Amino acid sequence: MLDALSLVTFTGDTVRYHLIKAEQAYFRRDAAAERAHGDSARVVLEPRVRSLPDEAKLLGPLALAYSHLGRHAEAIRAGERAASRLPIERDAVSGPFVLGYLARVYLMAGQAEQAIAILERLSRLPTWVSPAELRADPIWDPLRGHPRFQRLAADGAGAPVT
């Protein structure tokens, strides 16, 4: 289904299109396509961030684009800046999504402990993070063997997910 997506599907939201395609390539281990789509998102986002440097809803996706390019230090800086600009305490709807970007950025940078710490924080709040979501979303696959992640993804009876 993702192969059939085109820019027309996204009504001009080229950033979302390219980030979804980059993620698809990441799962397929197609590094060239991942970099190409990550770079396409970056090219659109960087000028927007230059004109709105404190806009977390731009910084979060830019952080993810940098991650898909393997530019992990820049990704972490952008993701942390996004999270500081739109904390959950100020925006209970968008703040968790911005933190979710940061968790993914840490994960892609090989910093599992930081990613899990964010997921732990989000799981204690009324957000999109739930045991079912953590079990279902393949983005978190690299964390499946981690005991702290297993506790987060445990079912209602508290049994760890393997």
Q: What is the CATH number for 36?
A: 1.25.40
| Residue that wins the pLDDT comparison between 80 and 8 | 80
138 found inside a domain = no
126 found inside a domain = no
32 found inside a domain = yes
Closest CA to 119 of 159, 16, 110, 131: 131
User: Which residues are CB-neighbours of 24 under 8 A, at least 6 positions away?
Assistant: 2, 33
Q: What is the mean pLDDT of the chain?
A: 91
Q: Which domain holds residue 77?
A: 2-116
Determine contact, residues 88/129, Cβ cutoff 8 Å: no
> pLDDT at position 159, please?
40
Residue 93 — left, alpha, or beta (φ > 0 → left; ψ -120 to 50 → alpha)?
alpha
Q: Which of the four pLDDT bands, split at 50, 70 and 90, describes residue 12?
A: confident
Helix axes 94-108, 72-85, angle to 10 degrees: 160
Across the range 35-48, mean pLDDT stands at: 98
55 phi/psi in degrees, rounded to 5: -80, 100
Q: Which of the four pLDDT bands, split at 50, 70 and 90, describes residue 8?
A: low
> pLDDT at position 156, please?
37
* pLDDT of 139 strictly over 80: yes
Tally of domains within the chain: 1
> pLDDT at position 137, please?
94
Q: Which of the four pLDDT bands, split at 50, 70 and 90, describes residue 157?
A: very low
Total number of residues shown for the chain: 162
